[in-house]
Amino acid sequence: PRTARAAAALATNELRVAYALHPVRLLTRLRAPESVPALITTLQRRLRPHDPYRRVALACVEGLGALGDPRARPVLTEALAHPALAEAAVRALAVLPARG
């Protein structure tokens, strides 16, 4: 649990975005309760126009798809508008459970 909390803190730290790629990938592998909210927060911040951290955003999209949590649907839908993320967002949305 401490590892997941630490990874979530690193992934969402705006002062250390350049170092967020590995914590984002770790959150996906850990599948901890903190993973989905941290990936959603990180992706929301990376959806700004001209954000230089597209690799971090892409890792978030892929991670949210791998975790398959329906809470990710709104941010993944928003990611469809970003050319560098659209294809991965389509794949991630396709694996989310159908809306109840």
Alpha-carbon gap, residue 51 to 48, rounded angstroms? 6
* pLDDT at residue 2, rounded to an integer: 74
* Residue 98, Cβ density class (10 Å: 0-12 exposed, 13-18 middle, ≥19 buried): exposed
Residues 29-83 have pLDDT tens digits of: 999 888 999 999 999 999 998 899 999 999 999 999 999 999 999 999 999 999 9
Please tell me which residue, 34 or 99, carries the higher pLDDT value. 34
* pLDDT at residue 100, rounded to an integer: 58
Please tell me which residue, 22 or 88, carries the higher pLDDT value. 88
- Is the pLDDT score of 1 beyond 60? no
**Domain ranges (residues) in the chain:** 2-95
- pTM higher than the cut 0.85: yes
